[in-house]
Amino acid sequence: MDMQILLWTTGIAFVIALLLGPLFIPFLRRLKFGQSIRAEGPQGHQKKAGTPTMGGLIILLAMTITAIKFSDRSFELWLLLFVTLGYGLVGFLDDYIKVVLKRNLGLKAKQKLLGQIIVGVVLYIVLYQTGLIDMSLHIPFVSTPLDLGLFYLPFLILLVIGFSNAVNLTDGLDGLAAGTTAISFGSYAILAWWTSNMDVAIFCAAMVGGLLGFLVFNAHPAKVFMGDTGSLALGGALATVAVLTKTEIWLVLIGGVFVAEALSVMLQVFSFQTFGKRLFKMSPIHHHFELVGWSEWRVVGTFWTVGLFLAVGALALYLN
């Protein structure tokens, strides 16, 4: 029965997102909420300028309605919604400044980081005060958890902010972030169901449905982009799911594509600042493959496949 609920949750969220798309996209276009394209990016992307953004609202609305409807509305669910919508708000403000106020860089880095930190600190305080989880790190294949004590706070904030920004970096090609996050949330839906974290599983299933419905409009050639509204929220949500299921280390494998994208940026910056040389033609790494001649669809399809293999491999190891 539980698995049937997850399937229904995914299906209903998919239908809601599918219905919201034709309503939101023309609305965003009329408001001229079009994406600005960085001049330093791949030149082929300039034709995407003006494509409506803030489409993450479609995902978040479909997920929220469905998760609340099918869940037991447990404390874990409200916590997940708080972090997801909190990061979505930070992303929305960033998108609004970019597309409405026409400031291409959006929020200043310090402003965005402050918003992300505030949500992370509130998450930690709630977890600490309620004792919902222990402040330890469960290392795969090691029976005794590593007690982090007060050091769990910086770890938690680093994890949530890190994955929020990693998904944001991944959102650079049509369907890339939506597809890879759908795979990650799908694996976490199974993992949470297996460990009887039913409301967490329902949240993940609702997210999968919302993402797949959005992907209908976001696949190449994209009719709408999720923007920071979607990508920051998705990354924060993924990290919070990992925290609530005590699988923080497993997230590195389940979200391996996002880790690779973030690492490619860090390595590129380090190499250029230290040695004056670039490791990649452009970072994040999906742009490198574009510039060596891969089509956009080939890059996206390859990254989806890698993400699927990583997620299935992590599940197989975890459930074994």
**178-204: pLDDT as tens digits:** 999 999 999 999 999 999 999 999 999
What percent of the chain stands above pLDDT 70? 92
In this predicted structure, which of 76-90, 133-147, 181-195, 258-272 has the lowest mean pLDDT?
Answer: 133-147
Name the phi and psi angles at 226, rounded to 5: -75, -25
Calculate the average pLDDT of the chain: 92
Q: What token pair was written down for 262?
A: 């973030």
Mean pLDDT of 307-320: 95
- Give the pLDDT confidence score for residue 147 in this predicted structure: 93
- Give the pLDDT confidence score for residue 136 in this predicted structure: 93
Contact status, residue 318 vs residue 141, Cβ threshold 8 Å: no
Q: What is the pLDDT of residues 124-156, one digit of tens each?
A: 999 999 989 889 999 998 889 999 988 999 999
Band (45; pLDDT cuts 50, 70, 90):
low
Handedness of CA 272, 277, 279, 283 (dihedral sign): positive
Q: Is 64 exposed, middle or buried (0-12, 13-18, 19+ CB in 10 A)?
A: buried
- Give the pLDDT confidence score for residue 99 in this predicted structure: 78
- Give the pLDDT confidence score for residue 105 in this predicted structure: 65
Residue closest to 16 by CA, chosen among 58, 55, 78: 58
